[in-house]
Amino acid sequence: MRLFAAVLPPDEVLDELERAIAPHVGQVPELRWPDRATWHVTLAFFGEVPERALPDLRARLARAAGRHPVPALAFTGFGAFSSVRRARVFWAGLSGDSMVRLVDSVRAAGRRAGAANIDEKRFHPHLTLARAKAETDLRPLVDSLAGFTGSTWRAETIRLFMSEPGPRVRYESLDEWALAPASPG
């Protein structure tokens, strides 16, 4: 099974993003815009995980979630990987409370449960909005969206997803765990 852990922004926050990008969808022919139902913020991509490792992974993710407080986040600005000038991925950036320790714990849970292909790149909090098969200059698109800041929201849970690749990628939520309550103040 191809698995990953992610947080899902609330619908009203995704509505804001959708309204911001709506005038631009289809304006860059090279970009493919996946269905909004697939939008998420990846914490860790585990790759292929044997089914026998799933119970241990679930237990470890539950423990990891319980050790980290709910972060306050907001979508702020847009960008691209590998660069705006030579992009293959167009994304909305996230600002707010750091999620680096949560990501480290989620990745460690995957390693300890036997996920051998964890993506260990430096965590850059974002939500992927579109992809291109070839490098594309997205400077005009990113510039036209400069200054966007969405509403603050709280990522209260993490989810484990199974990814089913194909012409239309499909994600199935396998489980969900609450993060620790945010500290008052």
pLDDT at 183: 66
Alpha-carbon gap, residue 139 to 94, rounded angstroms: 19
Residue 185 located in a structural domain: no
Residue 95 located in a structural domain: yes
Contact 127, 92 (CB under 8 A): yes
- Kindly tell me if the per-residue pLDDT of 185 is higher than 70: no
The range of the structural domain enclosing residue 7 comes to 2-177
| Residue of 24, 68, 124, 126 marked active site | 126
pLDDT at 107: 95
Residue 183 located in a structural domain: no
Average pLDDT over residues 52-80: 96
Q: 128 has which bridge partners?
A: 91
> Tokens standing for 23?
């005038």
Annotated active-site residue 40? The verdict is yes
Angle between helical axes of 100-113 and 54-66 (0-180°, round to 10): 160
Residue 110 located in a structural domain: yes
Angle at 140 between CA 137 and CA 142, to 5 degrees: 90
Considering the entire predicted model, what is its pTM? Answer: 0.92
User: Each residue of 143-161: pLDDT tens digit?
Assistant: 999 989 999 999 999 999 9
The CATH number that applies at residue 168 is: 3.90.1140.10
> Tokens standing for 39?
């939008």
Residue 6 located in a structural domain: yes
Bond from prior residue into 82 cis (ω within 30 degrees of 0): yes
Alpha-carbon gap, residue 116 to 79, rounded angstroms: 30
Instruction: Supply φ then ψ for residue 148, to 5 degrees.
Output: -70, 130
Residue 182 located in a structural domain: no
User: Each residue of 87-120: pLDDT tens digit?
Assistant: 999 999 999 999 999 999 999 999 999 887 787 7
Residue 85 located in a structural domain: yes
3-state secondary structure (DSSP) of residue 167 = coil
User: Each residue of 21-65: pLDDT tens digit?
Assistant: 999 998 999 999 988 999 999 999 999 999 999 999 999 999 999
Residue 184 located in a structural domain: no
Number of domains in the chain: 1
**At which residue do the structure tokens 């470890």 appear?**
60
